[in-house]
Amino acid sequence: MPVIEVARQAGACYGVERALKMALEASDSASQPVHTLGPLIHNPLVVADLEERGVRPAADPAEAGSGTLVIRAHGVTPQVIADAEARGLAVVDATCPYVKRVHRAAARLAAEGYQVLVVGESGHPEVQGILGHAGEGARVVSDEDDLAGLALCDKVGVVVQTTQTAERLAHVVAAVVGRVGELRVINTICEATSERQAAAAELAERSDVMIVIGGRESGNTRRLAQICRERCMNTHHIEDAAELDAAWFDEAERIGITAGASTPAEQIERTVAQIERVVAA
């Protein structure tokens, strides 16, 4: 029987658990409809479970109509909250406190006259929310190549999408530093992400197969899969235990498991149980 080991840090982070709890509390206490602004987390199973409890995603405040609107852990621009409140919606702001920290850092840099660069994935909801706090001249940079055609001011301030790697931040900073008179960097990477990445990397080094559980749309899960793949060629990204294939485990002596920040503990437990059944068959 192969050894099955779960990474020492894996699965739902503080911000996701908090947002989930706040959405469930809102649905328990509300007499009117409860919507989340977009899917609460990048995890189709959790979103389906919430829908069964009457908590549905809405694309924008207008679609939510009335009742309660839960802002997810990714956060939003101040304009979105103002729009929801102007429509009479009761806003439950489940923005992760670590994302709020990025909002405050970006706003402070903008107020102090820095052009804000947000190191992150262009178009990602968290990044859009950060941009809303970062002033007029703010720009998103995903890597050094994005800087090539970008006009920079003399004073540049850098913040980072919480799920980015320190390595990517370092590359962008190295590419900016020679082009500006003053550079201020506020490292807003969330520890939950770096801890999960380090634990996944360590486990992938020692494993014959790595299973990464989490939504396919989840940026942090995709990055975990990438980190594992660089160390263990036999890495598989799944959303649900039902996707497991017995052939993946042929001749494996150690099977490693990790999960993205939007994967609840039950999904990890279900996957471990399913792997145990598959390898015992």
Contacting ligand SF4 (CB under 6 A), which of 9, 11, 15, 116? Answer: 15
272 lies in the binding site for ligand SF4 (CB under 6 A): no
Cα–Cα distance, 190 to 172 (Å, whole number): 18
Binding segment for ligand SF4 among 76-84, 91-99, 148-156, 233-241 (CB under 6 A)? 91-99
Task: Indicate left, alpha or beta for 56 from its phi (over 0: left) and psi (-120 to 50: alpha).
Answer: beta
> Which one, 98 or 249, has the nearer CB to ligand SF4?
98
99 lies in the binding site for ligand SF4 (CB under 6 A): yes
Which letter does DSSP use for residue 40 in this model? S
172 lies in the binding site for ligand SF4 (CB under 6 A): no
Contacting ligand SF4 (CB under 6 A), which of 98, 114, 248, 249? Answer: 98
Cα–Cα distance, 206 to 223 (Å, whole number): 19
Which token pair is 33?
């409809």
200 lies in the binding site for ligand SF4 (CB under 6 A): no
> Residues 5, 126, 205, 239: which is the catalytic one?
126
> Which one, 163 or 207, has the nearer CB to ligand SF4?
163
User: Comparing C-alpha atoms, which of 122, 117, 134 is closest to residue 169?
Assistant: 117
First to last CA, the chain: 11
17 lies in the binding site for ligand SF4 (CB under 6 A): no
Cα–Cα distance, 107 to 63 (Å, whole number): 29
Decide if 126 is catalytic: yes
Residue type, position 168, single letter: R
Q: Binding residues for ligand SF4, how many (CB under 6 A)? A: 14
Which token pair is 253?
């002596």
Which letter does DSSP use for residue 179 in this model? T
User: Whose structure tokens read 């009742």?
Assistant: 67
36 lies in the binding site for ligand SF4 (CB under 6 A): no
Q: How is the beta sheet containing 34-37 ordered, strand by strand?
A: 55-58, 34-37, 68-71, 90-93
Contacting ligand SF4 (CB under 6 A), which of 107, 117, 185, 192? Answer: 192
In the range 44-83, which residues lie near ligand SF4 by CB under 6 A? 73
Residues 119, 124, 128, 130, CA torsion sign: negative
Which letter does DSSP use for residue 114 in this model? P
Contacting ligand SF4 (CB under 6 A), which of 6, 7, 13, 116? Answer: 13
> Which one, 55 or 189, has the nearer CB to ligand SF4?
189
Residue facing ligand SF4 at closest CB distance: 15
4 lies in the binding site for ligand SF4 (CB under 6 A): no
Site residues, ligand SF4 (CB under 6 A): 13-16, 73, 96, 98-99, 162-163, 190, 192-193, 261
- The set of catalytic residues is 126
